[in-house]
Structure formats: structure tokens, C-alpha cells
Amino acid sequence: MKIFYQALVLLTICLASCKKETVQNEDPIVVSDTIKAKHVAVEQPLDSAAQIKAWINYATPGEAHQLMADETGNWNCDMTFWREPNGKPEKEKAEVTIKMILGNRYQESNFKGTISGQPFEGKGTLAFNNTSKEYTTTFIDNMGTGMMVANGKLDDRTKSIEFKGVIINPVDGKKTPYREIYTIVDPKTRKMEMFDVQNGEEYKSMEIILKKK
């Protein structure tokens, strides 16, 4: 038994010695950092007075909002629809009441009429962002559960806004781009044209002539 313990001790010492030798003979691992630090420019925050001024400018109605306010009132709408390219035009009529809301910052429009013999109601909003200098229009109605959202800028030469947006086609569930052109014809006349895409080609799907009462 003594011999067994002696052998066990010798084996333990041998293993420890081998382990120590192995550790000592290992080459040191050198880790080099090859990622160079990039210089990041730190933006200096605006002072409180400049921040307050920026927010005041953002919140204050301007000329664009007055242009929207000029449309306040009741309008008759003559609507024409095309269900497909070169399709037969369908005529409908509606009325819309336009007003400014939230301190003359936004325009709200409420439509009532008939489409294909069914009662039609819709609500639209129009905003002008003082910072981006861009218009945003939204529209919802009782013939769907989605919201149309589009953005555009005013062309001073043509007195028109070209809006661009995307809708979800309820038939195939795919995103479909659409385009809208809103034109100020004269103080009491507006024209809205809607363009859809079918089989990869754009066509006019709707035109509304608005006449102020």
C-alpha cells in the first residue's frame, strides 16, 4: 500500500511538473488592436434662447397657412373616376366643408356625397411644416379602414402641389405608389387629380373640380 501511495505522489508531481513546463513553453499571445479610432465631431447644442426661437418659428402659422385658410368655406365637387387605363369615366357629385383648426395651423375638410350609389363620407387634413417646407395630406373615409398619407411641395409657377404616397392594395395586399396633383386654378376653383399604377403603368384614376359656393 505504501508503494501505491508513493507511486501516486510521484505521478501527481510528474503531472504538475509537465503542466508547469507546458505553460512556461507557450509563446506569449500578442493582441493588436487594428481598429483605428475615428474622430467624431461633437455638435454644440444651441443655447436656450436659440432653441426657443426655433420652436416659435416652427409653431407660428405663416403664408402657407394663410393659403390654406383662404379655402375655408363650402365647396361643390364634380368628381370623375376611371377604374382602369382608358376606361369609361364615371361621374359623381359631393360637397366639402373646409375649416382651419388648432389655431389656424392645420386645414380640415369633410366630404359628403355618393359613389356608385353608396353614401360617401370622408375626412382630410392638410399641414405645412415650417421646418421642412413640405405639405402633408391625409385622408380617411367610410369605404375603407386605411389612411392615405402623402407629402409634397408647392410649385409657385404652376400654383400646384404634387403629392406622393403609398397605399396598400386591398386586393393583393401589396404596396402601391400613387400621385396627386392639387392645383389652385383661381380664387374659387381648385382641381385635384389622382394617379394610380396598374400593371406597372400610371394612369389618371380620379379628377375632382371644386367650386366654392
Query: Can you list the domains of the chain with their CATH numbers?
Result: 61-212 (2.40.128.20)
Which is more confidently placed, 16 or 202?
Answer: 202
Q: Is 88 exposed, middle or buried (0-12, 13-18, 19+ CB in 10 A)?
A: exposed
DSSP-based three-state secondary structure for 192: strand
Which is more confidently placed, 160 or 32?
Answer: 160
| Structure confidence at residue 61 (pLDDT) | 98
| Structure confidence at residue 153 (pLDDT) | 98
Rounded-to-integer distance, Cα 132 and Cα 142, Å: 31
Closest CA to 122 of 95, 160, 82, 83: 95
**What is the average per-residue pLDDT within 106-129?**
97
Radius of gyration for the chain, computed over Cα atoms and rounded to the nearest angstrom: 35
Residue 199 pLDDT grade (very low, low, confident, very high; cuts 50, 70, 90): confident
Q: Is 183 exposed, middle or buried (0-12, 13-18, 19+ CB in 10 A)?
A: middle
95: part of which helix (H) or strand (E)? strand 90-101
Lowest mean pLDDT among 16-20, 43-47, 114-118: 16-20
| Structure confidence at residue 43 (pLDDT) | 72
Cell numbers for 61: 402659422
Cβ-proximal residues to 146 (8 Å cutoff; 6+ apart), any chain: 140, 167, 168, 170
Provide the residue type at 190 as one letter. R
Asked if residue 10 has pLDDT above 70, the reply is no
Asked if residue 126 has pLDDT above 90, the reply is yes
Residue 16 pLDDT grade (very low, low, confident, very high; cuts 50, 70, 90): very low
Share of the chain above pLDDT 90, in %: 74
Mean pLDDT rounded to a whole number for the chain:
86
Per-residue b or e along 36-61, where b marks 16 or more CB atoms closer than 10 Å to that residue's CB: eeeeeeeeeeeeeeeeeeeeeeeeeb
Is the CB of residue 148 less than 8 Å from the CB of residue 139? yes
Which is more confidently placed, 17 or 77?
Answer: 77
Asked if residue 161 has pLDDT above 70, the reply is yes
Rounded-to-integer distance, Cα 16 and Cα 9, Å: 11
Rounded-to-integer distance, Cα 47 and Cα 58, Å: 17
pLDDT digits (tens, 9 = 90+) for 25-80: 445 555 455 555 566 666 777 789 999 999 999 999 999 999 999 999 999 999 99
| Structure confidence at residue 35 (pLDDT) | 56
Neighbours of 145 (CB within 10 A): 8
